[in-house]
Structure 1
């Protein structure tokens, strides 16, 4: 068996990574901010309450919280969080009068701050530190007369940390999401204009560069505002566009659309392709400069004219025209590309402008562009108030764990009981396995740290000058080496820091280290119990459930889309409503994002959940643009209507099979398609477009089904 590397060797390996400099710089900033306030207030003004809060405020927001972004961005978040922190300290100070009041307050505060993750990465990053502000204040002694000192110490610590973030080794900014989308859109425009010829793998690789996990958390468009939603939608449209171009390259359609081969008088495509390429170039330029054109140049009218040209061209050529069906299929693929670019240019304009606009069709897809800001926030929070939301799971889990920890610490009158809650806050994970692994390491580290702290307290006794001399170097070592070596080392070193700090505030003996061990073990057991009882599998099961409900909603959309196209008379059937499917899509994306951050994702690597989401996106878009641009002027012939219905039922059956596999149920039998049925004469644009959409969709669904446990079809593994 291979021997485990020594701590020195592990440090050497980790230091070779560029990330160590960020950890070291952060430890310098937190140490300077914490030590400055602590020393000035304790030794300069002889105010231990001021010193305590000035010490822990930078630790809470600078170390315990993972506030993302550059130094300036982090400082901005910290200063914006300061009023919330002051309110939490005031609330905790008032509720410390009774244990039951403090517990109720902890439940409410714990839930609200944890649930704030739905507002984006920056509120989520600051939440743990804000939790600590309430935790510090809600423990005895009940001393409302010290509230002013507590608020002053907290304010000083936060301001000092924000100042250090800006002027002392500031964190540089990362690659912005907007620049990534601009690059992808520019490549798509160059491909459509024929300036570059990339293989399908390269086009898909460019799309992969837009995955949110590639970007720093501060740059990910995850908030509820209009500009953020628009930028996120622009990124999705760009990824979809690159995937479509990769598919066109594989099939050879792109070669024909750009002038290669025989185009059979395909004037409609020759007219539309340059316009689509130009819109891509304009959108890329707007993303780079941050400025949009004063007059929007949307593709609505161009796509409508393109469809009318196709109808006239098909009517002229009839059944005698050579390769008419092949031309119509290429045009159908181009129509899908044009619709992606149309969605792209609209979302880019909204993402850069951010102001309310007139309603944009389809309204269900761009509902946020005309919504008031308050409605955007309410919809984001209300949309996650469901047991299908992993954000709600996490908020309930942490609130119950913190509330139980506060009840136990108050009922048992544990010394320094806030360490119980701090253990819950720092060691809780989204799965019971992760929590157990963190607890084991933390308890082991605290045992070692407690022994070392006890020896330190016995050896130094009441020599506060000695503790003062080693506090700042100890913090610097603990805050830099601890994160490099892992939870056990971080807990051990932090125990030494805590013992050194409290020994300067009040006379302390080796029992301080004993109290920390008892508190950390108590908090660890509470956190582990809550993890065991509340959604112990994390997002592993929820991702299956949310994907299944999303696919069931998408199957209904396929049937509704076919019904809208085959209605007699045309236009008598309402267009399919996608609001339910869009809501399910957001929940599924949230569950998938958490699933990818958990070890369970490696255990189920065969399940292509990302492929399921891509297929669902294609269904949602087709349900919008097919009834919008492909509604026939006259009713489809009976044979054509039957063919459309049969193909739609087969595709919807494939979606239902995939949903059943996601839920772990027995899938229904496959529904045969109509490949052998004769095509209408002359070929119908509406039917060809529907067929191209369903064929592409079925191929994506088959690839996604192949990785799911229980798949037994030709693409499945039979697991």
Structure 2
């Protein structure tokens, strides 16, 4: 049995958590019910523990979780107070359920820590918003909540505390160190310091790629993702995205033939400096060094540009300039990564150099206060396009409808109806339907068992003896065995709890079945009418819009460099839509597995590559200097932008097979070789366009 548990629950994390919640819930319930003799206080002492200890996902070390629980206590007081005061009338309680249900759920836009507390917060309003209307007992209810939170916070510290999770900074440091080693191998190969540098890179790339893949949202528990509205999490998320972009280009560097390239020593020196800056960033993340400075990478980029200009490219084939442009783009991204690391560390960065007409810039959040960042996050998600808005509105509508109908139809124990909705309602109609069968089957079987227990005339003391055993098994059964087992044990557990609070008979089990079925029907109906496709539907839409924005970015960037136009609104719009696409992808990861069709990670990278490359080119290349080759640039730009538009349309039409751009090669063009040193800027632009074309070939996911 123990071996089976360890296979299903490595480290017995789920079992320890179930045991901790069981002990605290029973201590709070028995103390208030039997020692203090207060039946009105007992349910709040018990269900607050279930709400915050079981339904909520609180991350961090034991000390951090304890502080989070204490910090959420005033919110719990507010929710219980409002629920108590609004329970005088069905319509008032339902209206309060809708408003608070939306606000509590929508607060999750602030980050995964708030998302983890949302379900528990909902329960703290649901419990008191049903009759009896008893404002005089509010003090005892708040006392029960306070007792539960204090006991639970203490238990997090002393009762089978969980080991602290692997920090995101540690994962990020490993990925950056792997990137640094790969860059060093490239530099050694180019400079001749290690003739086997290419073989060393081939050996290092798989491990570095695996470390970068460990930063994907799908590979992280939701509560450990850096997705809050603050500067630190935004900067860490930006760093991770940049690392994945850089690793995707390291293989391109290794494929270049340095024997025919121009400015190879300068490129090797630049890549070596980039490797050193990356390792300095990793050392700071591990707590082993100071915050890295952007001056080193900025100086290396300036030195490379000056050394490259010492060689006149006039008359040279364009292919000989490609290696230097690849190295330059890589150095720009490393500079961007170091800047993000400094923001995460709270260190100063240079003033925002983004032109006013092109703002917000890539690091706009570094110059804003925390309050404004939170307001911006809330404002940008107050749109039906936001998956956070959709999810909050869907849940609020379901809970409010259930509360209203429970009051109008005088449903006995309507609390169970709303608890069922919290349990079965998912982000899509298909996912909601998939939870119905196990929930209903488990509830029916558990209710039959509960009816048998209540039918047998026994001393209520036996209910108190049996309750901890059922709680422990039931709380562990859900994560280990599935929703059906959880619902079955929960039905028996609830019956025994109510049997100790007030006189009940076996018909309580019948009421439990009817209430769960009622709640399931409401959840299904709301799920069918409110964004039934869930994150999948919104992800197709959001990424389609993002890629369409990227196509405009490509066209606008070439207009700036070739025609001397001012940057338009394409870049700021693409950054904003990219954030919505990332939010949709994060929620998509929490849904059941979907049919393979689109590699969403590769799709988002294609959009971000367009945005970040455009930022670097507009900043470093002179405007209007490429006018002599505008015809060739127009053809190449139309090809790349057209591929992005093709992929965007395929996503908007939900046609995964057509999401990848056409597989035919780039147009055959005769590029000039008589532009003098502007040939270097042309090479930089062509490398960016070729990289974008290559990105779009990876959108289709293989089975």
TM-score normalised by the chain length of structure 2: 0.91
Other structure's SS at 1:193 match? helix
Local SS of the residue matching 1:28: helix
* Pairwise CA distance, 1:437: 2.3
- Whether the 8 Å contact between 1:443 and 1:488 is mirrored in structure 2 is yes
CA contact (8 A) 2:106 2:388 kept: yes
Q: Would you say the 8 A contact 2:281–2:291 is kept in 1?
A: no
Please tell me whether residue 460 in structure 1 is matched to residue 457 in structure 2.
yes
- Contact 1:646 1:673 (C-alpha < 8 Å) held by counterparts: no
Structure 2 residue aligned with 1:698: 693
Residue in 2 aligned with 1:653? 642
- Give 1:100 shift: 0.6
Deviation at 1:474, TM superposition (A): 2.0
Q: CA deviation at 1:107?
A: 0.1
Aligned mate of 1:525, from 499, 517, 521 = 521
Among 217, 220, 236, the alignment partner of 1:215 is 220
Question: What do the CA deviations read for 1:115-138 (whole angstroms, capped 9, x no partner)?
Answer: 122111111111111110100111
Q: Is structure 2 residue 653 aligned with structure 1 residue 664?
A: yes
Cross-structure match for 2:236: 231
- Give the Cα–Cα distance (whole angstroms) in 2 for the partners of residues 673 and 503 of structure 1: 74
Determine if the alignment matches structure 1 residue 341 to structure 2 residue 334: yes
Task: Name 1:38's counterpart in structure 2.
Answer: 29
Q: Which runs of 5+ in 1 are unaligned?
A: 1-7, 709-716
1:636 correspondence with 2:613: no
Structure-2 residue corresponding to 1:602: 594
Q: Which residue is equivalent to 1:311?
A: 309
Cα distance between partner residues in 2 of 1:89 and 1:203: 49
Instruction: Give the superposition deviation at 1:637.
Output: 5.0
Deviation at 1:490, TM superposition (A): 1.0
Asked if 2 retains the 8 angstrom alpha-carbon contact of 1:447 and 1:517, the reply is: yes
d(CA) in 1 for partners of 2:635 and 2:569? 18
Contact kept, 8 Å, 2:14 with 2:476, in 1: the verdict is: yes
Structure 1 position 613, deviation (Å): 0.8
Match of 1:17 among 8, 14, 17: 8
Aligned ranges for residues 272-291 of structure 1 at < 5 Å? Answer: 272-289=270-287
From 252, 266, 269, give the equivalent of 1:268.
Answer: 266
* Deviation at residue 283 of structure 1 after TM alignment: 1.1
Does the CA-based 8 Å contact 2:14-2:479 persist in structure 1?
Answer: yes
Moved more, 344-353 or 265-274: 265-274
Verify: 1:154 aligned to 2:145, yes or no. Answer: yes
Q: Distance in 2 between matches of 1:529 and 1:576?
A: 41
Evaluate the alpha carbon distance shift between residue 106 and residue 446 of structure 1 in structure 2; reply closer, same or farther with a 3 A threshold: same
Partner residue in 2 for 1:593: 586
Equivalent residue runs for 1:396-407 within 5 Å: 396-407=393-404
1:252 to 252, 256, 264: 256
Equivalent residues in 2 for 1:156-235, closer than 5 Å:
156-194=147-185, 197-199=200-202, 200-235=205-240
Deviation at 1:678, TM superposition (A): 4.1
Deviations 1:418-452 (A, max 9, x none): 11111111111112222122122111111111111
Note the alpha carbon deviations across 1:265-315, whole angstroms, 9 max, x for none: 53432442332222112111111117644865353343234224323423x
Q: Which residue is 1:711 aligned to?
A: none
Give the equivalent residue in structure 2 for 1:434: 431
Give the Cα–Cα distance (whole angstroms) in 2 for the partners of residues 658 and 645 of structure 1. Answer: 20
> Does the 8 A contact of 1:630 with 1:685 survive in 2?
no
The equivalent position to 1:507 in structure 2, one of 479, 503, 506, is 503
Deviates more, 1:420-429 or 1:16-25: 16-25
Question: Which deviates more, 273-282 or 580-589?
Answer: 273-282
State the 4+ residue runs in structure 1 displaced beyond 6 angstroms: 665-672
> Equivalences for 1:235-634 in 2 at 5 Å?
235-249=240-254, 251-252=255-256, 256=258, 261=259, 264=262, 266-289=264-287, 292-293=290-291, 296-314=294-312, 317-319=313-315, 325-353=318-346, 359-362=351-354, 364-461=361-458, 463-568=459-564, 573-574=566-567, 577-599=570-592, 601-603=593-595, 605-631=596-622
- The two structures, once aligned, show a CA RMSD in angstroms of 2.5
- CA–CA separation in structure 1 for the residues paired with 2:671 and 2:469: 82
Note the C-alpha offset of 1:209. Answer: 2.3
Query: Alignment partner of 1:386: what SS?
Result: coil
Aligned counterparts of 1:179 and 1:47: Cα–Cα separation in 2: 48
Pairing 1:676-687 to 2, within 5 Å after superposition: 676-682=669-675, 684-687=679-682
Residues matched between the structures, number = 678
Q: Which runs of 5+ in 2 are unaligned?
A: 189-196, 355-359
Distance, in Å, in 2 between the alignment partners of 1:186 and 1:580 is: 33
- Which digits, 9 at most, give the CA deviation of each residue in 1:427-485, with x for residues without a partner? 11112222122122111111111111111112135x22121221222212221234322
**What SS class does the counterpart of residue 408 from structure 1 fall into?**
helix
Distance 1:264 1:409 in 2: 77
Cα distance change on mapping 1:420 and 1:648 into 2, 3 Å: same
Call closer, same or farther: CA 1:17–1:91 in 2, change over 3 Å: same
Closer/same/farther in 2, CA of residues 136 and 451 from structure 1, 3 Å limit:
same
The residue that corresponds to 2:192 in the other structure is none
Determine if contact 2:83/2:126 at 8 Å carries over to the other structure.
yes
Deviation, structure 1 residue 407: 0.4
